[in-house]
Structure 1
């Protein structure tokens, strides 16, 4: 299995986003319960990683980083992402050529 940084994102009692990074699946499994193994993700880099009780993931975040999120964080971040307005692009129209 490739070397990954495993990031767990949850929300603290005070409402703040909490991020904890683990260096290996073994470190992660000391704090979370494995309920299966990912075997269907279209991103092959996360196949074979553990599926954890109470967390959504594994989600590929960046090269070498795999992310797990609590359901509440997943819902909140997905809602923010879906309602964010994309940067507006200007379309250029060609000017009509001067009448001759």
Structure 2
């Protein structure tokens, strides 16, 4: 019974599974070890104890490195989506 409850707790952890755990914070968002941002609605600063810094949002800039996850900046897409670029070049969107 103890093993079952610990697996439930692990499923509720930001950046769990293939994301590889929490690498740090981008403002209130969790930056995962795979370079993406977590979809968690929890506050990263409250969870980790690190004071929040609100990331800047840049206008649409194509495939620019200024929007890299972990840099503290995000880009806005053509339809208004806010994202950062993972190390593999994929977009990781921020929840609204």
- Class of the TM-score when normalised by the shorter of the 2 chains: under 0.3
What's the TM-score, normalizing by structure 2? 0.26
What's the TM-score, normalizing by structure 1? 0.25
Structure number with greater Rg is 1
User: Which of structures 1 and 2 has the larger relative contact order (alpha carbons within 8 angstroms, sep 6+)?
Assistant: 1
User: Which protein is richer in strand relative to its size?
Assistant: 1
